[in-house]
Amino acid sequence: MSEIIQKVKNLSIGFRSKKGEEILILRNISTSIKKGETVGIVGESGSGKSTLALAMMGYVKQGLYTTEGECLFYHSNLLKMSNRDLEKIRGRKIAMIPQNAGQSLTPNLKIGYQIDEALKLHTNLSKIDRDNRISELLNKVRLPSPETIALRYPHELSGGQQQRVAVAMALAGNPELLLLDEPTTGLDVTTQAHVLELLNFIAKDTGTSMVYVSHDLGAIAQVSDRIIVMYSGEIVLEGPSRSILKKPIHPYTYGLLKSIPKLSLAGLPESMPGSQPQPGTVLKGCSFFDRCNLRENKCKNNSPQLEYINDLETSVRCFNYKSLKDKNHISSPISKNETSIKENEILNLTDLSISYAKQKLIDQILNKTVDTNPTVKDINININKGETIALVGESGSGKSTILKSIAGLLKTKDGKIRFEKDRDLSSDLKKRNPSDLRAIQLIFQNPDESLNPNHNVEEILSQPLKLYFGLSGEKLKKNIIELLEKVRLGEFYMSRYPRQLSGGEKQRVAVARAFAAKPDIILCDEVTSALDVSVQAAVLNLLQKLKDDFGTTYIFVSHDLAVVRAISDRVAVLYQGRLCEIGPSKNVYQFPSHPYTEVLLGAVLEPDPDIKPKLVAEDIVEEKPPEQGCSFQGRCSRILGDKCKKETPPWQITKSGNAIKCHININDLEKLQS
């Protein structure tokens, strides 16, 4: 085999708590990275994966310290090296690509200058050579017209382009090892697929070893040769990616893979209960004990060691791995109650347009509309009682904008929002009556921000109960306890503050707060995208359960097509604030589809090394919707020519009953896409 370039030996990293106890973040990690190999490190937030990646470049975050072990790059221990020696290695031998490239680029320096700085530092090239090298690097990361990109400032590039620049900068010193910390997490699905494909290409082309840290098994599956699964600061499973993903013999990985919603399967994924033990919890036995299905008495008091299994070339930290060896983790997901939704309209959006452009005073007086090309335009959707409709699209597709205007937080420009057939909802929140306000509730993406950090759970939940039902005293308390039980949290959570809850628990509280109002419609804005996969499945299951119990209607906004597939009855695909396709979810996920839906579906990453994303269109970012013609004309790979650019495409209904807004004949589309 090829040479080992990075070796981690018995590494433990920890910090000292206020009480003086030593708390370990990483526990006895040993692994190695070979030349030219891509290793994926996967784990939930708090599993220590980033700490491990940083240690691999000799960096330990402030407040943490190495308690034991070493990180050897070739034969020198990075953790004992002086800063001066480390400077010679960082950037030249080991480079890092951060999660948020937008924040890691200096905003007031041109792209070319920033790459030049890296080149000056790490190479001895002359000015002319460096200029050539900048073009070469930008070309390598597939940025269009490198000469012009080099003269731009970071804010003039899209998120995907910024990430590419970060890759180019990391490659400037010709590193032997590239560390990537969640490099695609903040990006759109299509962009993410393109960046991953680029990374794959670079790994092959330059022979650079890569360490890819991510919580997303789908992304890891696309790039890695080998996968390390971390849990609570330990390696629980390590081996070739194929055997890890196809035969996950550790119960954690097994559960994790089961909890990922997949495009190929309708219905909700199984969830994994519980959460990771907090750092500092004294554990005698296995750290996964609390959440494990295979636990035995033995696991409680004895900690399993990493054991190497020859036929799978995998190391596993579990006593009972054998029982998982022959089990198939891709079992059928929990089927949803496919209740036939009756034609019972609860919300109707007619010709909805929303504009962010400010009206000038003179135009306001003259009652003149200036913005002929609003952010969201011509949205017509009927929503039936008890149905889950998903709005899907990339960032900038207007999905959250529509949600906000339904909630009354954003004024509409044109069109009507009709509630329960007979009432028009005003787009001004203050003009809505209390019962309409109560009927529509919101759940947000990030529970850290949607819960007041200075209120405990009791105070948080009492807000809607006091406001809408005027409850107080014992009655209020009883209601709060009931709500908490509904979201499967106990009474003792009442006195806790958001900071004392895990991400999943916080989101449950947010869900409980929405349900406190006994709403008819709940607007879910990316409610699972800030959560870990295992928690995401639990929240999705909870939402489905509550919906079955109360008959609530969900409007579900998400960029994740697999999640949408799992939870929704109907899907509306949006591009640049215009509808592209709408229909029952099982039809939307089959061809023929709108060319944009096709792009989105192709870019979904499945946790399976055999399913590669299909990159149909370029991931160009358009800032404004086109003035006329089809909204997707700029990126469509099946564009017909002038017709698409000038005429607004008609709605066509497929045999299965979904509507597609495209000039291409349905039958032709079907032929093209099959």
Partner 1 sequence: MDIDKISEEDQKNIISKVFEVLKTMASKPSGFIGLCILVFHILLASLSPYLAPYDYKAIDPSLMLQAPSSEYWFGTDSLGRDVFTRTIMGGRTALTITFFGSLIALLWGGLLGIFCGLVGGKIDDVVMRVVDAFLSIPWILAMLLIVSLLGTSTEVLIPALGFFYGKGIVRVARAATHDVIAKDFIVSARARGHSNMSIIWNEIIPNVRDAILVEGAMRWSWMLLGFSSLSFLGFGVSPPTPDWGLMISNARGLMSFAYWAVIAPVVGLSSLIIGINLTADAFAKALGIDRSTKAPV
Amino acid at 134: I
What are the backbone angles phi and psi of residue 247, rounded to the nearest 5°? -130, 75
Q: How far is residue 583's CA from residue 586's CA, in Å, rounded to a whole number?
A: 8
The CB-of-472 to partner 1 minimum distance in angstroms stands at 15
Nearer of residues 530 and 605 to partner 1, judged by Cβ = 530
Nearer of residues 252 and 493 to partner 1, judged by Cβ = 493
Q: Does residue 529 touch partner 1 according to CB under 8 A?
A: no
> Which residue in 107, 454, 490, 674 binds partner 1 (CB under 8 A)?
454
Q: Does residue 331 touch partner 1 according to CB under 8 A?
A: no
Dmax (CA) of the chain: 79
Under DSSP, is residue 137 helix (H, G, I), strand (E, B) or coil? helix
> Which residue in 101, 517, 563, 662 binds partner 1 (CB under 8 A)?
517
Distance of CA 293 to the CA centre of its chain: 27
> Which residue in 92, 423, 455, 488 binds partner 1 (CB under 8 A)?
455
Under DSSP, is residue 134 helix (H, G, I), strand (E, B) or coil? helix
Nearer of residues 280 and 626 to partner 1, judged by Cβ = 280
Q: How far is residue 206's CA from residue 3's CA, in Å, rounded to a whole number?
A: 16
Nearer of residues 120 and 431 to partner 1, judged by Cβ = 431
Q: How far is residue 134's CA from residue 118's CA, in Å, rounded to a whole number?
A: 10
Query: Is beta strand 553-558 parallel, antiparallel or unpaired with respect to 388-392?
Result: parallel
Q: How far is CA 559 from CA 118, 181, 387, 402, 628, in A?
A: 35, 21, 19, 14, 26
> Which residue in 513, 559, 594, 663 binds partner 1 (CB under 8 A)?
513
Under DSSP, is residue 203 helix (H, G, I), strand (E, B) or coil? helix
**Residue 91 C-beta-side C-alpha neighbours within 13 Å:** 15
Stretch that binds partner 1, among 434-442, 555-563, 572-580, 663-671 (CB under 8 A): 434-442
Nearer of residues 467 and 672 to partner 1, judged by Cβ = 467
Answer for the pair 621, 158: CB distance below 8 angstroms, yes or no: yes
Q: Does residue 334 touch partner 1 according to CB under 8 A?
A: no
Q: How far is CA 396 from CA 245, 562, 638, in A?
A: 33, 19, 22
Under DSSP, is residue 388 helix (H, G, I), strand (E, B) or coil? strand
Stretch that binds partner 1, among 85-93, 250-258, 264-272, 497-505 (CB under 8 A): 497-505
Answer for the pair 56, 90: CB distance below 8 angstroms, yes or no: no
Q: Does residue 456 touch partner 1 according to CB under 8 A?
A: yes
Query: Is beta strand 414-419 parallel, antiparallel or unpaired with respect to 345-354?
Result: antiparallel
Binding to partner 1 by CB under 8 A, coded x per residue (else -) over 369-408, reads --------------------------------------xx
Distance of CA 648 to the CA centre of its chain: 33
Q: Does residue 504 touch partner 1 according to CB under 8 A?
A: no
> Which residue in 278, 293, 628, 665 binds partner 1 (CB under 8 A)?
278
Nearer of residues 419 and 444 to partner 1, judged by Cβ = 444
In the numeric block, the tokens 């579990």 are attached to 318
Answer for the pair 652, 577: CB distance below 8 angstroms, yes or no: no
Answer for the pair 561, 530: CB distance below 8 angstroms, yes or no: no
The dihedral region occupied by 582, where left means phi > 0, alpha psi between -120 and 50, and beta the remainder, is beta
Q: Does residue 539 touch partner 1 according to CB under 8 A?
A: no
> Which residue in 20, 434, 490, 657 binds partner 1 (CB under 8 A)?
434
> Which residue in 2, 17, 32, 323 binds partner 1 (CB under 8 A)?
17
Q: Does residue 653 touch partner 1 according to CB under 8 A?
A: no
Q: Does residue 656 touch partner 1 according to CB under 8 A?
A: no
Q: Does residue 364 touch partner 1 according to CB under 8 A?
A: no
> Which residue in 155, 342, 499, 655 binds partner 1 (CB under 8 A)?
499
> Which residue in 109, 366, 429, 653 binds partner 1 (CB under 8 A)?
429
Q: Does residue 23 touch partner 1 according to CB under 8 A?
A: yes
Nearer of residues 292 and 440 to partner 1, judged by Cβ = 440
In this structure, what token pair is assigned to residue 156? 């003039």
Binding to partner 1 by CB under 8 A, coded x per residue (else -) over 30-59, reads ------------------------------
Judge if the upstream peptide bond of residue 592 is cis by omega within 30 degrees of 0: yes
* Orientation of helix 251-258 relative to helix 533-550, angle to 10°: 50
Nearer of residues 152 and 496 to partner 1, judged by Cβ = 496
**Of residues 98-157, those binding partner 1 (CB under 8 A):** none
User: Whole-angstrom distance between the N-terminal and C-terminal Cα of the chain?
Assistant: 42
The CB-of-459 to partner 1 minimum distance in angstroms stands at 8
The CB-of-434 to partner 1 minimum distance in angstroms stands at 6
DSSP class of 67 = E
> Which residue in 467, 481, 615, 672 binds partner 1 (CB under 8 A)?
467
Pick from 616, 629, 645, 638: nearest CA to 190: 616
Q: Does residue 352 touch partner 1 according to CB under 8 A?
A: no
Stretch that binds partner 1, among 274-282, 298-306, 474-482, 556-564 (CB under 8 A): 274-282
> Which residue in 452, 628, 637, 648 binds partner 1 (CB under 8 A)?
452
Nearer of residues 21 and 338 to partner 1, judged by Cβ = 21
The CB-of-352 to partner 1 minimum distance in angstroms stands at 18
Pick from 380, 271, 252: nearest CA to 320: 252
Q: How far is residue 279's CA from residue 277's CA, in Å, rounded to a whole number?
A: 6
Q: Does residue 555 touch partner 1 according to CB under 8 A?
A: no
Nearer of residues 505 and 569 to partner 1, judged by Cβ = 505
Distance of CA 630 to the CA centre of its chain: 28
- Residues found near partner 1 in the complex (CB under 8 A): 17-18, 23, 278-280, 407-409, 429, 432, 434, 437-438, 440-442, 444-446, 449-456, 459, 463-464, 467-468, 492, 495-497, 499-500, 513, 517
